[in-house]
Structure 1
Amino acid sequence: MKKPNPLLEDLNAILPAIAANASRAEQARTVPEENIALLKGIGLHRAFQPKAYGGLEISLPEFADCVAALAGACASTAWAFSLLCTHSHQMALFSKQLQDEVWGENADATASSSIAPFGKVEEVEGGVIFKGEMGWSSGSDHAEWAIVGCRRQNGEGGQDYCFAVLPRSDYEIRDDWFAAGMKGSGTKTLVIKDAFVPNHRIQKAKDMMEGKSAGFGLYPHSKVFYAPYRPYFASGFAAVSLGVAERMLQAYQEKTRNRVRAYTGVNVGTATPALMRLAESTHQVAAARAFLEKTWAEHAEHSALQQYPSRETLAFWRTNQAYAVKMCIAAVDRLFAAAGGTAWFESNEMQRLFRDAHMTGAHAYTDYDVCAQILGRELMGLEPDPSMV
């Protein structure tokens, strides 16, 4: 039996208002300010913020339940806001100096990201000069900081994949988010022109996956920060997919229960095909939730016990979530295919759920073709392929 989740209870009280804004989010192509205010009002943005700055440090299972519930109301809001939350976990692994800069004067501050290493850096005394057009920064309209990726010379003839953290004053946001799915996530491009980033705001990605970053160990009594950054960073993707699929089950029942075929007058809701589709998708979504809950619980257990995950464990965590997303999309597709022509109207919630479901599987982290290769290599005892991250 699950323990009470007070944050989820608070979230449930504001979900009707967020759901009512779903169409407005799509039209604006960004999360409405009202949604951000509601979510910050219950403290969800503090989920993975260190308690030293007023954060909650809740467990990953508790957080994921909140994201799934939020996605049922508005997937775009859930996608963007969950990233604003999980980036706090990542920043808690940076130097204390960086954390003081981020949260010292504004404890409510959050960061968006664009972590693919597309940024260009020039080494200068004390840090780097960073420039680049960094795309796919969800929720950037509402963040005070940004985490961006680059490759930095390591002095050994090679390069290190690194993350740099920049304040909002160091970049512009290009309003170029015109997409078929997650329309309201505001996943825009950050334009950075010759911004100085000091060394204390830069970390190697490898160090953040191996417990070697500047901030690792700052919070010895925490149950969430003795962990690599990536499983927490990516946790929201599968949670959003799950929430969309669970809402699709409800929407299909609501639409089909009283649906009558125009030409024959037959009640679709009592027809065998509709019942079978609903049953199979219900089982599939329930299986996805159980699989994800087991995986999220393992994340939490490892961190609470201060047990760093093995390479094999990390491979399973990564690929488990991608497989669950695959199941959720299949469940959504099965129902949408039988929902009738009116489900395609822009005013119908089901077409938005269909589009958003597929977007959850389009992220590099949830690409199951990649994940199947990652896990297959691990199971066969082969070294990881560096081209698959």
Structure 2
Amino acid sequence: MSGSEPGGAGGRPPQGARTSGEVLESVRGLLPGIAERARSVDEKGSIPAETIRDLTAAGVFRMLQPTRYGGAEHDPVAFYEVIRAISGACGSTGWVAAVLGVHSWHLGLFADEAQREVWGTGPSPGEPEEPGEPGVPRGAGPDTLIASSYAPIGRLTPVDGGFEATGRWSFSSGCEFADWALLGALVVGAEGRPVDFMTVLVPRRDYEIREVWDSMGLRGTASDDIVVERAFVPSHRAMRNFEQAQLRNPGRKVNTGPLYRMPFGTVFTSTVAASVIGMAAGCHDLYVARMQDRIRLSLGGGRFVEDEFAQVAVARAASEIDAAVLQTDRNVREIHEYAVRDEKIPMELRLRARRDQVRGTERAIQAIDILFKTAGGNSLHRGNVIERAWRDAHAGSVHVANDVEHALSMYGRGVFGLKVEDNLV
């Protein structure tokens, strides 16, 4: 399946779905406005609803969504290109677009009853509509957004027909725009001990948002807390993380395209990395543009662009960014090709994807550090675009998906023939 055309089961482009090229073109038209609002986003600590509406209209959040529910099922690499572009204009906006966008893919791994509750548009044109489950409402439509907080902070108690969920989750980026949340939780057995690790889908009516976000970077993501008190979660809205990692998700029964045969540990973590890499790429472009007419006030004066150390800095930064993009995209393409052929994805490739994903983030941070260091004292001023990009990228780099040492250790274990057990592979 091409990264430029929509395609789900049978390759049918759903009515209203946009090609990845059309989405990217629309997003590029939005970038000047997103960049202009970036300082306000950082200072106010939130993204304007107008921006989310624009990104929705551009088709960003449907790129990885099942065709059965109005999505396009694009190759993830096309989605990452869009996320890098948005992140280059505003780190917070790119981060929120990334996580809200990838959640549309994750929901596609859940049972069809859960998907219907959120999107509610039924099967693709030409397919018979399946009867609804008793007590399962139709969703609000294909543009419904989903937030998340995947850390297993919550507690699930088995009850008749599902679970009772309780907990307080942090770092739920963009939750103010979502009507549902994907939350990580531990199933507690009769003796009060954890017996399983699951992700559950909870509607907005069952949780409260606590506004607590006040960070040094990604300030506009409004990554607030989600609080759930004894909410009932039916079985179809719960998925075992072990089965997800084993690619045995229930959504494959209805979403038969290759996108839903790809590992969560590849698609999600690469999404997080794409945003950070985009921040570095955007910073590089701004650096080059702003330094064109700069005259040094120290070190003998002269035009900044004629300084060989500045020339070396932009070269090093550009090389690190290119390497990050090329390696991460290569691995995801190869995994997608296995999925297209419906062949087992080698663990060696899954581990390599994680290796290069965390190294991609690390390279992006190295690039942005080079630029920040050589930009001079002006880059220290609050609100400077280079300073803001530096803060945003460093904030994004501490996400658990970007834990460099852990991911590299897993790769090393695999190379040495040792068993690797991790839900993020």
TM-score by length of 2: 0.87
Matched, 1:375 2:408: no
- Give the alignment partner of residue 273 of structure 2, picking from 212, 217, 238: 238
Closer, same or farther in 2 for the Cα pair 1:68/1:151, shift >3 Å? same
The residue type equivalent to 1:37 in the other structure is R
**Matched residue, 2:156:** 121
Shift of 1:307: 2.4
The whole-number CA distance in structure 2 between the counterparts of 1:102 and 1:247 is: 34
**Matched residue, 2:208:** 172
**Matched residue, 2:11:** none
Contact 1:370/1:388 (8 A) holds in 2 = no
Closer, same or farther in 2 for the Cα pair 1:5/1:386, shift >3 Å? closer
**Matched residue, 2:181:** 146
Q: Which runs of 5+ in 1 are unaligned?
A: none
Shift of 1:306: 1.8
**Matched residue, 1:290:** 326
The whole-number CA distance in structure 2 between the counterparts of 1:362 and 1:347 is: 22
Matched, 1:51 2:67: yes
Q: After superposition, what is the alpha-carbon deviation per residue over 1:79-104, rounded to whole angstroms, capped at 9, x for unaligned? A: 11211111111111111111110101
Shift of 1:209: 1.7
- Give the alignment partner of residue 226 of structure 1, picking from 261, 273, 295: 261
Contact 2:63/2:101 (8 A) holds in 1 = yes
The whole-number CA distance in structure 2 between the counterparts of 1:146 and 1:371 is: 26
Q: Secondary structure at the match of 2:199?
A: strand
- Give the alignment partner of residue 111 of structure 2, picking from 95, 98, 113: 95
Closer, same or farther in 2 for the Cα pair 1:143/1:2, shift >3 Å? closer
The whole-number CA distance in structure 2 between the counterparts of 1:347 and 1:116 is: 32
Q: Which moves more between the two structures, 311-320 or 155-164?
A: 155-164
Q: Secondary structure at the match of 2:202?
A: strand
The whole-number CA distance in structure 2 between the counterparts of 1:234 and 1:291 is: 14
The whole-number CA distance in structure 2 between the counterparts of 1:313 and 1:256 is: 41
**Matched residue, 1:67:** 83
**Matched residue, 2:387:** 351
The whole-number CA distance in structure 1 between the counterparts of 2:28 and 2:328 is: 21
The whole-number CA distance in structure 1 between the counterparts of 2:114 and 2:279 is: 35
**Matched residue, 1:112:** 147
The whole-number CA distance in structure 1 between the counterparts of 2:66 and 2:52 is: 20
The whole-number CA distance in structure 1 between the counterparts of 2:347 and 2:213 is: 36
Percent of aligned positions with the same letter in both sequences?
30
The residue type equivalent to 1:84 in the other structure is L
Shift of 1:234: 2.2
Shift of 1:154: 7.2
Report the number of matched residues.
388
The whole-number CA distance in structure 2 between the counterparts of 1:281 and 1:233 is: 25
Q: Secondary structure at the match of 2:168?
A: strand
Q: Secondary structure at the match of 1:234?
A: helix
Contact 2:109/2:249 (8 A) holds in 1 = yes
Contact 1:120/1:151 (8 A) holds in 2 = yes
The residue type equivalent to 2:242 in the other structure is K
The whole-number CA distance in structure 1 between the counterparts of 2:174 and 2:307 is: 43
The residue type equivalent to 2:380 in the other structure is W
The residue type equivalent to 1:171 in the other structure is Y
Contact 1:224/1:303 (8 A) holds in 2 = yes
TM-score by length of 1: 0.95
The residue type equivalent to 1:357 in the other structure is A
Closer, same or farther in 2 for the Cα pair 1:155/1:316, shift >3 Å? farther
RMSD: 2.1
Matched, 1:17 2:52: no
Closer, same or farther in 2 for the Cα pair 1:155/1:232, shift >3 Å? farther
Matched, 1:277 2:313: yes
Shift of 1:2: 8.5
Contact 1:135/1:190 (8 A) holds in 2 = yes
Closer, same or farther in 2 for the Cα pair 1:230/1:155, shift >3 Å? farther
Contact 2:264/2:424 (8 A) holds in 1 = no
**Matched residue, 1:159:** 195
Q: Which runs of 5+ in 2 are unaligned?
A: 5-19, 121-138
Matched, 1:29 2:65: no
Q: After superposition, what is the alpha-carbon deviation per residue over 1:129-183, rounded to whole angstroms, capped at 9, x for unaligned? A: 1111101111101111000011125799961210110000111111111111111
**Matched residue, 1:332:** 368
Q: After superposition, what is the alpha-carbon deviation per residue over 1:193-222, rounded to whole angstroms, capped at 9, x for unaligned? A: 1111111111101111222222223122x2
The whole-number CA distance in structure 2 between the counterparts of 1:103 and 1:344 is: 45
Contact 2:245/2:424 (8 A) holds in 1 = no
Q: Secondary structure at the match of 1:193?
A: strand
**Matched residue, 1:303:** 339
- Give the alignment partner of residue 359 of structure 2, picking from 304, 323, 342: 323
The whole-number CA distance in structure 1 between the counterparts of 2:332 and 2:295 is: 42
Shift of 1:356: 1.3
Contact 1:113/1:137 (8 A) holds in 2 = yes
The whole-number CA distance in structure 2 between the counterparts of 1:313 and 1:166 is: 33
The whole-number CA distance in structure 2 between the counterparts of 1:81 and 1:246 is: 17
Q: Secondary structure at the match of 1:212?
A: coil
Q: Secondary structure at the match of 2:258?
A: coil
Deviant stretches of 4+, over 6 Å: 154-158
